[in-house]
Amino acid sequence: MSINNKQLLLSGILALNGVLLPQVTNAAEFELSGRIGVEQRVFSEKGNSPEQLEHTQISVLVEPELYWSWNNGDDSVLFKPFYRQDERDDERSHGDIREFSYIHAGDNWELRAGIRKEFWGVTEFQHLVDVINQTDNVEDFDGEDKLGQLMVNLSLVKEWGIVDLYLLPGFRERTFSGSNGRLRGPVVSDRNVTYQSSAEDKHLDAAVRWSHSVDVFDFGVHWFHGTNRDPILTPVTVGNKVELKQYYNQMDQFGLDVQATIDDWLWKFETIFRTTDDDDFWALQGGFEYTYVGVFDTNADLGLLVEYGWDSRGEGSVNEPGANIQDDVFFGSRIAFNDVQSSEFLMGLGADLHHNAFSFIVEANRRFGESVKVSLDLRLFQSTKTTDALYFVKNDDHMQLAVEWYF
């Protein structure tokens, strides 16, 4: 476990200690669950750099989950550590505390304290408003995996909506693949990291979000102030090699997410305005999903997805953090077979409207028995322009097979 993770664990224990010690564990309930998995990646080509691993990559993961509740469920603790061991990429062998938090539920409020993951967003292919947790970039290329974040969150439930207040002490640097790893650009240094704030990774961030449902609409509005989760990466020469150093500036972000459910249509929209000392910009992601229920007179549901992403910084700034999607369209199809094995299939295509760059994904999973899940993913990339983010992974087409046991 890294020093950073040990500090997070210690902070979480201290945050919970004063709350838990006085409690009487009458009618306490304990639940232990989790997953253990094996993952195999097979790449069709060699990477862009000679030091990158060639064709296969195997890793194992373990993610137990301990849930403890008492006082008729009004008080609870959730502990969810995570560890992956990768045979080829030392940076992908890593551990993290995804969750270690205490929750108390009142009549119209809820207090959550400790290390947590908080997800915001409604769109399928990019989550602009999801700003609380740092991305665990070594887990996957899609940015869906997040690191645990130390926080205190007070949630107030009112007739006119839910107000969430956040204090976020401490900051997590983004994880990046090592020199041997795949699905990466130039190597990102974890030793050359600077911050705009003099408090560096100890800056106290804050956020507030209001969410509400009216008729067919679900929407949320947020403001975040603190350390930018997206690092600015600039090249530096280390010996005879070029690496990227990380710089984390301060930002304010205002965002809106809206989802509307109208018959078989699901309309989705996210937009943000982010301001820093270096740049101000707008971005949006929006589209729809239409579901054919019981397609071809079967139990299966077929969903068709279309989304569009835009960023005011434009194509010339794709190397700036967050601007990889600046004028892109996405098409997808999702099939839920609604069988006892919970079989699912997702296919998606993303294309840049300015030049020849696209990504293609296939994700399929099925449960075997009561506790085994098998997933098969396919990722294909194409880009001919060096300023495009996909250019660095254009040789990283791969298939991924994962077998996970849930307990």
Q: Which amino acid appears at position 142 of this protein?
A: D
- Domain with 26 in it: 3-406
Give me the pLDDT at residue 4, please.
55
Cα first-last separation, the chain: 24
Nearest partner of 8 among 227, 140, 173, judged by Cα: 173
Q: How distant, in Å, are the alpha carbons of 81, 114, 258 from that of 15?
A: 17, 6, 34
Q: Show the tokens assigned to 264.
A: 């078989």
Q: Which amino acid appears at position 84 of this protein?
A: R
Q: Show the tokens assigned to 380.
A: 């294909």
**CB within 8 A of 31, min separation 6: which ones?**
65, 66, 67, 68
370 burial via Cβ count (<10 Å: 0-12, 13-18, 19+): exposed
**Contact status, residue 227 vs residue 205, Cβ threshold 8 Å:** yes
Total residues belonging to the chain: 407
CA gap 236, 240 in Å, rounded: 10
10-residue stretch averages of pLDDT, the chain, 407 residues long: 51 50 63 98 92 94 98 97 96 97 97 98 96 96 94 98 98 95 91 96 98 98 98 87 93 98 98 95 97 94 98 67 80 97 97 91 97 98 85 94 98
CA gap 284, 311 in Å, rounded: 7
Residue 26 CA from chain centroid, whole number: 37
The rounded radius of gyration (Å) of the Cα atoms in the chain is 22
- HSE-CB at 393 with a 13 A cutoff on CA atoms is 20
Give me the pLDDT at residue 66, please.
98
Give me the pLDDT at residue 323, please.
64
**CB within 8 A of 107, min separation 6: which ones?**
none
Give me the pLDDT at residue 53, please.
94
CA gap 288, 264 in Å, rounded: 10
Q: How many domains does the chain have?
A: 1
Domain containing 252 — which CATH number? 2.40.160.10
pTM of the model: 0.89
CA gap 83, 79 in Å, rounded: 13
Q: Which amino acid appears at position 293 of this protein?
A: V
Residue owning tokens 């009487």: 24
Phi then psi for residue 14, to 5 deg, are -65, -35
DSSP β-bridge partners for residue 95: 83
Nearest partner of 120 among 51, 219, 251, 13, judged by Cα: 219
